[in-house]
Structure 1
Amino acid sequence: ERDLNYYYNKFKYGEDCFHYLMSKKVKEILLISTFYDAFIFEQDGRLSEQIFGEYRQLNLSTAPMITSVPTGEEALRILKERQFDLVITMLHVGKITSFDLARQIKENYPDLPILLLLNMESDIPSVDQYRDRMTIFDGVFLWKGDTKLFLAMVKSIEDKRNLEYDTKHGLVRVILLVEDSVQYYSMFLPLFYEEIMKQTQILIREELNDINKRLRMRARPKVILAKTYEEAAEIYEHYKEYIIAVISDISYLHNGKLDNEAGIKLISEVKKNIYDVPTILLSSEFKNSDKAAAIQSTFLYKYSNQLLNNLRKFIVDNLGFGDFVFRDVNGNEIDRARSLIEFEEKLKTIPDETIVYHSKRNHFSAWLMARGETFIARSMRLLTVGDFDSISEVRQHLVSTLNQIRKSRNKGKIINFHPKSLYESNEISRLTEGSLGGKGRGLAFLNALLITMEFEKHFTGVNITLPATAIIGTNEFDQFIRENRIFDRLKENQNDREIGEIFLKGRLSNELTEKLSSFLEIIRYPLAV
């Protein structure tokens, strides 16, 4: 019984416990603000609508709920009655100051995160003046009417709370942002989360297995904000092997004093890492571009009107999101791959110099990293073209690695049909949606059991597999009956031959017909139906 439970959990949740990633979610938010601000946030900002896309992908039905109260006193009262996952307070909340309110909340609920939300830039000097008192808050943000700020605030808290577990157990990647300006990180974080969510959802579409789709969103990269050199260095050292990008301002606190080269020092340390981590240095002084170039870091000018576009482009180009664009030695596009299967196929034919171009820049590993293949991407980072006897060997290594990734992802699972899957044993494809039926369900279960229990490891020389199998879901039958008006054509006392002729005159759906055509183009052996 113990063994059966082990194999059941292994099949259902996977060996890496992706099921438990992002377990600490923000579901109830207490917003402390004036009636006017609360109305604006709820109607214009609408937190639940901003993260609806992610919740839909995770098959969850409820978005975070916002409860608004107008004063600090009312907040303290409602906290005694209900449990909340996050408190967001404005600077002015009645007779009690926001600082005193936060202190009282922390005394009674020390693990409850509190964010301070400013709605005017003129409040920032006041906040800076009381920097020592600001440590009571888990974060300070500036509202400028961008509704995506709420998403960023919630996600920043969730990422902090889940960081330790998710990196250790799920190998989740981390983007480190080092910025002490409330104005700038309140602008950067919404952009980062919007782009990460959008790109992750694009990746989800290429998944052939529905379980993998849900896990993909949970394993999206996290964004962690640091405001001082010491804080950034500590995060970097602790999560070094998971960090996929460092984006840093140049001037911020170092050893308690403003250091105009803190970012240069931090990125210089990052560049010593054996992994080639993409970096950006941000500055309001253009002269710092030479310092960034000297340590081979991208430089972005804060006052540029293309700042946000350049940050968005950096995420897509350097973190492996989007299509993989194959380039020649001059950087010109020669082809592109939109999915893992397409990528594998095109690797077989692209020129040798293109393989060298991307290998030297770690583009292959970054692309795989974005798709959650952290183990393989990490080992690939450590390999150089010089580790192989020829470019042909590099090509073969890449193709065989991708082939193994695809096999391991879908092994024992029911995947959505793709012609490539017909070449693999132990894969069951779903041609159309709906129930699998008794025989299909039995084959699928047996296949999952054989794969999960890994008989070949326990019994040397024994190899039990199922042939590649495709199943037509029951939705096709329902659609066939409806669109061909079968019931209207049936009469009393018809025999089986007459009923069979009515069915034979019907037409299958275009979707199924196209998939069956692809299926039959490949099949060159006896087919059991």
Structure 2
Amino acid sequence: MESKIPHEFNKFYLKDVTFANLMMRRIYSVLIVANPYDVFMLEDDGRVEEKIYNEYMELGLRYPPTFTQVSTTNEAAKVLNTTNIDLVICMPGNADNDAFTVARDIKGLFSDIPCVVLTPFSHGITKRMQNEDLSIFDYVFCWLGNTNLILSIIKLLEDKMNLEHDIKESGVQMILLVEDSIRFYSSILPNLYNYILAQSKRFATEALNRHQSTLRMRGRPKVVLARTYEEAMNIYKKFADNCIGVISDARFPMKEMSPKENVLQPSPLRDSAVYKDPEAGLKLLRAIRERDEYVALIMESAECKYREKAEAESFHFVDKNSKTMSLDLRRIMEEHMGFGDFIFRDPTTHEEVMRIRSLKELQDNIFKIPNASMLYHVSRNHMSRWLSARAIFPVSQFLKNVTWHKLQDVDAHRQIIFDAIVKYRHMKNIGVVAVFDRMKFDRYAHFARIGDGSLGGKGRGLAFLDNIVKMHPEFNQYHGASVQIPKTVVLCTDIFDQFMEQNNLYQIALSDAPDEEILKHFLRAQLPDSLIADFFTFFDATKSPIAVRSSSLLEDSHYQPFAGIYNTYMIPNTADKYMMLQMLAAAIKSVYASVYYRDSKAYMTATSNVIDQEKMAVILQEVVGHQYENHFYPNISGVLRSINYYPVGNETAEEGIASLALGLGKYIVDGGQTLRVSPYHPDQVMQTSEVETALRETQTQFYALDMSDVGSDFKVDDGFNIMKLKVKDAEHDKSLNYIASTFDTYDQIIYDGLYEGGRKIISFAGVLQQEIFPLPELLQMSMKYGSCAMRRPVEIEFACNINEDKTGELYLLQIRPIVETKGVLETDITKIPDDGCLLRSHNSLGHGVSDDVVDVVYVKYDDNFSAMNNYYVADDIERINRKFLAAGKNYVLIGPGRWGSSDHYLGVPVKWPHISAARIIVELALKNYHVDPSQGTHFFQNLTSFGVGYFTIDCNSESGGFIRKDVLDAMTAIEETDYVRHVKFDKPLKIMVDGIKQEGAVVINES
């Protein structure tokens, strides 16, 4: 019968734990007050500071405390008045000035500082302590010269200081120790802490890198010491939901006694109403069991008669007299508090069925465990307890509520446990650069590094993107739409250094040899053999083509443009893993070689960087897409910019712009025809607004990876195995669902969607206008959070798969700050005086500064201008433009009406090739010829692709900008026709465009 999971367990959310926020309150400095002999013993024989330091380092703990040692109360007071002390430890003193006297004096002067008394145990001291008021001291311990006790005291106090905060913050667990015997808790605490801290080192291996491993140890269970029944119950009631176990003595002080019960000796706490109750331990454990049927309850006693009573009520028992007492206690804690490995047992024979050492092992084996064993452990909540002890709180808290009473279905429990682990591992992987571990990296793993060097620019960008996604769960708020980065492994820069040195490649690399020769030497070199097993693990986890991308130290730098200089190769996925290994190795070596190609060296020189300072990390990343016969590609690739220097209509510069294309993103990088859309205005796509424009300016070709090109014969050209296909091929692949429209040749109209016959237009109408997939909203979030996190405009590369069922995945591939290469605009254009300008526009497109243009070509016009001759104007300008193209120069183009209009009455009917050498295009609105501005819509793609500025000036309005035509008319013409003049300035004009404020000016250089 199929297992049915109730609705309440189908949908669950796991809140991540930030271990860095735990154990925030620490004991950093300890003052030890001891007589000269004990000080000497501590320093020379005990070496307490060294031992504590070594203990901390061995356990991977940070911030070991420092110790100050004094011998008298006066010395102690001097230190306490001048230094921040977190803990005072008073050790055995002189005959007339013992530890209690010293501690009482210090506590009287500094009541807020924790004070602990260490005392040797003898019959005389025991007798004296019965009459001492010990309540003013935080703790009294039995001192036998064991420095481990001092570590335990520090940990016990730190646990007490952080208990409430850490439980509320993250659900940290607690072990409650109930014991009033000073001698016994002084003995058990070092053993207990030793065991718990050693266990925390083991569960820290669940972390994904060393830093997280250290932080994760802060999530260990805390130990809380209670010395009376009332104290124990108060602590338990307050933190019951986070208690994984109670270790209790049999007899200890308790107020609530029956009159018939024997009155025993008074407690050391000097409260005359409190006496030791011989049944206090049993009463406490019974009360706790009533509240929680699963919590581990252990009784320890030196009186054997309590064993039978404890075990009769299913409490575990430890004999204090046993020589193996500490081992017995550890065994019970391991079995019943979730420490150590999880051992699945046969409920009948109690024999071991399976041993689980890690979360991944539990995930891999949960469906293999026999039903009877699974039922035994699930019905006792063992799984939740084991996860709690390993600080995997989100899953343990969730599973704790899925009790056997609520869901009596073994298979349902299996599925719920599996789903919760997968969700947790996915959550923990996001935003973290894990150290690659073959035992942990699987299809649920996410981002890992091999090596200890830098991730490089792209690698850092990817890790940053991953963290942005993690910090903003709203990315995944839409049903059927997920946002993530692809599965990624980075070979850090130290692997590159090792490869270069071991293969002695620097000589050929830094030479002037041709690129092909350099590549040949690199392909012959050997990568470290240690990578082979890692690569095989990555293949098994990925099961898709792999992109091998450069990630140099300088790429995607915050301060300089350095993108697109090195190569990116793609290798197909094959069943033959050794063939894939050969291809992957060749691709990595080819990326390394590209650092030293001629173009790279030239770019290094141009950007004032030194080639031998450059180091290369390599990103291995699953390629986004689907396989269609012998090729592979995604439905959508794109580049998103958080600032738009060519806003049209009601778009604004700050709303950003996206370029979308079918197929691999290389098509966009190579300058292919893409669809330009603002994510905030997805229904306003200029290229599909008119039939003629849509047919002319939408994508007709796309790129795909050739899955049949298998081999390690790599070329300098990283696109050697990339296929250029036609949209018709995508139609055959059935990959155009929701991203294409159909042109009906009979009706001369474009219909959104796929229909029989007719040319297919890549319009992305399904995702942009029909809301099949929330791409616009996800791109808005990507821009908003990306630019906010980087504190500057960003460019983000992405790819997207849209499935037949309208679900989809958006993969963010890269983020880099936008660094303009066309000159940095440092001047506020509005502050430039009018008399220094040739023209000014308050409605400008484009961005940047240029100062290498001296020529102006303008249409001759006056107050009686007529558009009748605009065809002739177009002919003249086309001819002049050819001359500029031949000379490799640019000019400023000025004229009335709309440039590129098909209606010559609205403007000059030029095509883009006729004006392609223009650096700035200016359209004028005249008094008797007032045409609404076009903003260059007729050749908008070319304007944005070539970075051409477009100014609109309305001569009829004071706020519409101006042009000093008198200056142009007064100049000698280089060439003049009936309709057009070409003039030349002696010094270059300074062309300035502020794409954010949409201000533009052409400044005359008169210096």
| TM-score normalised by the chain length of structure 2 | 0.49
1:459 shift after superposition: 5.8
> 361-370 or 195-204: which moved more?
361-370
Q: Are residues 1:250 and 2:276 paired?
A: no
> 278-287 or 142-151: which moved more?
142-151
Q: Distance in 2 between matches of 1:57 and 1:289?
A: 35
- 2:390 corresponds to which of 368, 371, 383: 371
Partner residue, 1:450: 469
> 66-75 or 256-265: which moved more?
66-75
Task: Work out the percentage of aligned pairs sharing the same amino acid.
Answer: 34
Q: Deviations over 1:152-176 (max 9, x none)?
A: 1111111111112111212111111
1:466 shift after superposition: 2.0
Contact 1:47 1:150 in 2 (8 A): no
1:101 shift after superposition: 2.9
- 2:345 corresponds to which of 327, 339, 359: 327
Partner residue, 1:106: 107
Helix, strand or coil at the partner of 1:239? helix
Q: Which runs of 5+ in 2 are unaligned?
A: 1-14, 256-273, 549-1007
Letter of the 1:303 partner, please give it: N
Helix, strand or coil at the partner of 2:88? strand
Q: Deviations over 1:342-371 (max 9, x none)?
A: 111111212111101211232211111112
Contact 1:48 1:63 in 2 (8 A): no
Contact 1:320 1:366 in 2 (8 A): yes
Letter of the 2:413 partner, please give it: V
Letter of the 1:279 partner, please give it: L
Letter of the 1:185 partner, please give it: Y
Partner residue, 2:117: 116
For CA contacts below 8 A with separation 6 or more, give which structure has more relative contact order.
Answer: 1
1:199 shift after superposition: 0.6
- 1:351 corresponds to which of 370, 376, 381: 370
Q: Deviations over 1:210-245 (max 9, x none)?
A: 453233111111111111111111111111111111
Contact 2:90 2:102 in 1 (8 A): no
Letter of the 1:73 partner, please give it: N
Letter of the 1:244 partner, please give it: I
Partner residue, 1:505: 524
Partner residue, 1:148: 148
Contact 1:274 1:382 in 2 (8 A): no
Computed over aligned residues only, the root mean square deviation of the Cα atoms, in angstroms, reads 2.5
Helix, strand or coil at the partner of 1:449? helix
For these two proteins, the number of residue pairs brought into alignment is: 513
Q: Deviations over 1:492-513 (max 9, x none)?
A: 5444333333333332223322
Contact 1:275 1:381 in 2 (8 A): no
Letter of the 1:316 partner, please give it: E
Q: Distance in 2 between matches of 1:293 and 1:45?
A: 44
Q: Distance in 2 between matches of 1:274 and 1:90?
A: 41
Partner residue, 2:161: 161
* Cα distance change, pair 52–36 in 1 and its aligned pair in 2 (3 A): same
Helix, strand or coil at the partner of 1:264? helix
1:198 shift after superposition: 0.4
* Cα distance change, pair 483–432 in 1 and its aligned pair in 2 (3 A): same
Q: Distance in 2 between matches of 1:323 and 1:15?
A: 23
Contact 2:442 2:537 in 1 (8 A): no
1:200 shift after superposition: 0.5
Letter of the 2:247 partner, please give it: I
Partner residue, 1:194: 194
Letter of the 1:328 partner, please give it: D
1:245-324 equivalences under 5 Å are 245-255=245-255, 256-324=274-342
Contact 1:152 1:189 in 2 (8 A): yes
Partner residue, 1:136: 136
Partner residue, 2:86: 85
Helix, strand or coil at the partner of 2:354? strand
Q: Deviations over 1:24-55 (max 9, x none)?
A: 11111111112221232234252453354545
1:464 shift after superposition: 3.0
Contact 2:249 2:301 in 1 (8 A): yes
Q: Are residues 1:342 and 2:361 paired?
A: yes
Partner residue, 2:436: 417
Contact 1:127 1:134 in 2 (8 A): no
1:325 shift after superposition: 1.6
* Cα distance change, pair 410–265 in 1 and its aligned pair in 2 (3 A): same
Partner residue, 2:36: 35
Q: Distance in 2 between matches of 1:474 and 1:121?
A: 64
| TM-score normalised by the chain length of structure 1 | 0.90
Q: Deviations over 1:401-449 (max 9, x none)?
A: 2212212222222222246645248x22213332110111111111221
1:91 shift after superposition: 3.2
Q: Which has the higher strand share?
A: 2
Helix, strand or coil at the partner of 1:464? strand
Q: Distance in 1 between matches of 2:494 and 2:231?
A: 55
Q: Which has the higher helix share?
A: 1
Letter of the 1:170 partner, please give it: S
* Cα distance change, pair 51–308 in 1 and its aligned pair in 2 (3 A): farther
* Cα distance change, pair 124–361 in 1 and its aligned pair in 2 (3 A): farther
Letter of the 2:384 partner, please give it: S
Helix, strand or coil at the partner of 2:299? strand
Q: Distance in 2 between matches of 1:121 and 1:496?
A: 85
Contact 1:48 1:65 in 2 (8 A): no
Contact 1:179 1:252 in 2 (8 A): yes
1:399 shift after superposition: 1.2
Q: Are residues 1:49 and 2:51 paired?
A: yes
1:95 shift after superposition: 5.6
Q: Deviations over 1:425-480 (max 9, x none)?
A: 8x222133321101111111112212321234666665433221111111211222
Q: Distance in 1 between matches of 2:318 and 2:441?
A: 44
Q: Distance in 1 between matches of 2:389 and 2:229?
A: 27
1:74 shift after superposition: 1.6
* Cα distance change, pair 37–512 in 1 and its aligned pair in 2 (3 A): same
Helix, strand or coil at the partner of 2:484? coil
Partner residue, 1:6: none
1:56 shift after superposition: 7.0
Helix, strand or coil at the partner of 1:423? coil
Q: Deviations over 1:81-132 (max 9, x none)?
A: 212111111132586453343233223322211111123444641452333x
Contact 2:500 2:506 in 1 (8 A): yes
Q: Distance in 1 between matches of 2:540 and 2:241?
A: 45
1:189 shift after superposition: 0.3
Contact 1:175 1:244 in 2 (8 A): yes
* Cα distance change, pair 461–404 in 1 and its aligned pair in 2 (3 A): closer
- 2:489 corresponds to which of 470, 491, 511: 470
* Cα distance change, pair 339–524 in 1 and its aligned pair in 2 (3 A): same
> 462-471 or 43-52: which moved more?
43-52
Partner residue, 2:233: 233
Contact 2:170 2:393 in 1 (8 A): no
* Cα distance change, pair 285–338 in 1 and its aligned pair in 2 (3 A): same
1:389 shift after superposition: 5.6
> 84-93 or 38-47: which moved more?
38-47
Q: Distance in 1 between matches of 2:22 and 2:239?
A: 17
